[in-house]
Structure 1
Amino acid sequence: MLAEDRLDEDLQIATKLGGEESAHLSALFVTLAPVPTGRYQTLSPSWLEVRERNLQKLSEHVAKVRERLAAAELSFDVDSIYAEVAGPAYDIGERAVYADLVVAGPGIFANDDLKSQVVSGGLFQAGRPVLFVPPEVNATLRPKTILLAWDSHPSAAHAARDALELMKMAQSVHVTMVDPVAASRASGDEPGADIATYLARHGINVSVETLPSSGRSVTDTLLRHALDINADMIVMGAYGHSKLLELILGGVTKSMLKAATLPILMAH
C-alpha cells in the first residue's frame, strides 16, 4: 500500500520485499479526498477544480509507480483509490482478500487516518496479516531475529500462525510476555510453554522470555526488549473490532502503531 507522502520510500520497500521472495506485487495507491467544507462545498466550481487536480495528481503518481516497478523487473499490477465520501477501508479489504500479506509502508504509517483504514480493511475486514513499516527502518521478509509478543489470546495465535514461514527462516524467535499470569485460564501454569512447544515442532529456534513492566507500559517494555535483542521484526496480535468503519483498537495495539521503531506484523 502506497501513499503520496514518502512515496519513494514506500516504493523502495515494496520492490525490496517483492524481490526477496520473487513475489507478485499488487501496488495500491490510496488518496483521501479533502472534506468539502466552506468554499469547497460538494459540486461547487471550487470543489470540482480541487477534485480534478487531485485526480490528475493521482494519475501521475500511478504512472510513476508503474514505471518504477517495471524497472525493478517484478511481476506487478497497480491500482488506485480516491476516497471521497466514505473512507477506503472497504475497498482496501476487498483487494486484501487476494493478498498473502498487506504491506503498509512509511507513507501509511505516518498518516493516522490512512493507517486506521488499513487496519479496518486489511486486518478486520479481510483478515489478512499486515506488515506495518515505520519510516527510516530496514524492512525485510527474511528477519534474523523476531520478537513474538505473546499473551495467549487467539489474535496472538493467529499472528504466530501467519508468521510461521518467517519464523522458520529466522535464526531466533523470542516469545516475549509482559507480566504474564500463571493460571490455567490465563497463560497456563507455565506461561509461553505451549506456544514455544508449537513453534519448536516446526523446527523454529525459540526461547521464552518473561518481562516485568516495572511501571512502564507494555508497549514501551516490548520495544525496549526488541532493541535489546536487536530484533528485525515484532509479530503480534491486533485487538479490537471494526464496525461501519468505526475503528476501536486495544490500548497496546494502538500505542504500538504510534510508537513502533521497527516493522510490526499484525494479525487478527
Structure 2
Amino acid sequence: MGFKSILCATGADHSDQDARTAAGLCAEVGAQLSVLIISPSPLLMPPPTLGDSIPEWPTVAGLKRRFRQIDRFSQDMAKLERRHTEFQNLLGAMSLRHDVDTDYCDPASVDDVVRQRALCTDLTIVGPTLLDDENLGPPVLNGCLFDTGKPVLVVPKGAEASLSPRRVLVGWDSRAEASRAVREALDLLSGAEEVCVALVDPKANYNGNGSEPGADIATYLTRHGARVSVDLLPSAGKPAATVLAQHAIDTSAEMIVMGAYGSRRLRERIFGGATRWICEKPPLPLFLAR
C-alpha cells in the first residue's frame, strides 16, 4: 500500500525543523506532504451581563480588554499568514508535492482539528519541536492517533528517521493495538533487512500468545516477505516499554513499532518514561498505531 499522503502538524511559533523532517520522509517515498500550522487562540472573555442576559454597558476597562483581544487576534492572523508563505516557499524550493493549511482554533479544539486532517492521510509525523511543546504536543498527538485508526511516526530529537529502515523492533503482546501497528507498518517491515519481534514476560496460553509466544506473528510477517526473529525478554521488574527500548538499542534497531493503548499511557511514553529515556540515549523513531 505504501504512504502516499503524510501530515505534519506544527505550531505557528515553531521552527521549520519538523516540516523539514517530514519533507525528507516524503521525498524518500514520493508522498504528498500536508503541513498544518496551528495557532491556538487565547480564551476570549464573554461580555458581562446583567439579569435576564441583558448586556452590561461597557466600561473603560472592558473596552480596553476587548481592544487587546482584537489586537492579539490581528497579530496572530498576521503570523499565520506569514508562516503560511514561508512554508510554501520552503517546500516549493524542495520540488515536493505539498499543501499548506492554517487553523486558528480554541485550545480545546486542537485535537479535533488535527483529527479531521489525519483521517484523510496515511501517516502523521510528530517531530521533535512538537514533542517539546507541552501545550500543543499532547492534543495534537491525541487528535492524530486516537479515533482515527491511522498511524503516527514520532521522531524524537536527534533521531535519523527513515521510512525504509534496515532493522526494526516490533513490541508484540498479542493485543489488537499491536496487530494494527504491525499491519500499518507492513511495508516497512517487509522491506527491512531484519525484523525482531520482542515479547516481554510472555505467557504461553491459547487465549493470548499461543503455545509458542511470537510464532504466530512471525509466521504472518514471514508470509509478507519479512525476515523475522523472535526474542522473549524478561522484565526483571522493569516496565515493558523500558525493556523494549533497551533491547532496540542493543540490537541496533532503527525504529520501534508498537501499539498505543490509551491517552494516559501514551502521554507517559511520548513525554516521559521510556521514550524520554530513549531521547537521552541513542534516539529512536516510534511507529505507533491504535
Match of 2:26 among 6, 14, 18: 18
1:139 correspondence with 2:161: yes
- Per the TM alignment, residue 31 of structure 1 is displaced from its structure 2 partner at its CA by 2.4
Aligned to 2:270: 257
CA distance in 2, matches of 1:200, 1:4: 44
Alpha-carbon offset, residue 100 of structure 1: 1.0
The residue that corresponds to 1:237 in the other structure is 259
Assess, with a 3 A threshold, how the Cα gap between structure 1 residues 152 and 70 changes in structure 2: closer, same or farther.
same
What letter matches 1:22 in structure 2? Answer: G
Question: CA-to-partner distance for each residue in 1:137-171, whole Å, 9 max, x for gaps?
Answer: 11111111111111100010000000000111111
Alignment-mate amino acid for residue 165 of structure 1: D
Of the two, which has the highest radius of gyration?
2
RMSD: 2.2
CA displacement at 1:40 relative to structure 2:
10
**Gaps spanning 5+ residues in structure 2: where?**
1-8, 46-60
Question: What is the DSSP-based 3-state SS (H/G/I as helix, E as strand, rest coil) of the residue aligned with 2:11?
Answer: coil
Say whether residues 1:227 and 2:235 are aligned partners: no
Report if aligned partners of 1:42, 1:48 keep a CA contact under 8 Å in 2.
Answer: no
More off after superposition, 210-219 vs 145-154: 210-219
- Distance in 2 (CA, whole Å) between partners of 1:154 and 1:18 is 28
User: Is residue 2:91 matched to residue 1:69?
Assistant: yes
Provide the residue aligned with 1:244 in structure 2: none
Q: SS in structure 1 opposite 2:17?
A: helix
| Residue pair 1:40, 1:47 contacting (<8 A) in 2 also | no
Alpha-carbon distance, 1:85 to partner:
5.3
Identity %: 37
8 Å Cα contact 1:41-1:47 kept in structure 2 = no
Instruction: State which drifts further: 105-114 or 225-234.
Output: 105-114
Q: Shift of the alpha carbon at 1:177?
A: 1.2
Partner of residue 44, structure 1: 66
Deviation at 1:13, TM superposition (A): 0.5
Aligned-partner SS, 1:88: helix
Q: For 1:199-238, what aligned pairs fall within 5 Å after superposition?
A: 199-238=221-260
CA spacing shift, 1:5–1:189, aligned 2, 3 Å: farther
How big is each residue's C-alpha offset from its partner over 1:171-207, in whole Å with a ceiling of 9 and x where there is no partner? 1111111111221122222111110010001110011
Q: Secondary structure at the match of 2:157?
A: coil
> Is the Cα contact below 8 Å between 2:166 and 2:194 reproduced in 1?
yes
**Range with bigger deviation, 196-205 or 180-189:** 180-189
Q: Is the 8 A contact 1:5 1:107 kept in 2?
A: no
Residue 40 of structure 2 contacts residue 107 of structure 2 at CA under 8 Å; is this kept in 1?
A: no
TM-score, normalised relative to structure 2 = 0.83
Post-superposition offset of 1:214: 1.3
- What is the letter of the counterpart of residue 202 of structure 1? H
Contact 2:196 2:229 in 1 (8 A): yes
Q: Which AA in structure 2 matches 1:221?
A: V
2:127 to 64, 85, 105: 105
- In 1, the alpha carbon distance for the partners of 2:99 and 2:148 equals 19
Given candidates 13, 28, 36, the residue that maps to 2:36 is: 28
Distance 2:219 2:122 in 1: 26
| Separation in 1, partners of 2:62, 2:27 | 43
- Distance in 2, matches of 1:61 and 1:203, equals 43
Matched residue, 2:184 = 162
Calculate the TM-score normalised by the size of structure 1: 0.89
Give the aligned partner of residue 245 of structure 1: none
Where does structure 1 differ by over 3 angstroms across 4 or more consecutive aligned residues? 34-37, 39-43
Asked if structure 2 preserves the Cα contact closer than 8 Å seen for 1:36 and 1:47, the reply is yes
Is the contact made by 2:167 and 2:192 (CA closer than 8 Å) also made in structure 1?
yes
1:243 is aligned to none
Structure 1: stretches of 5+ with no match in the other structure: 241-247
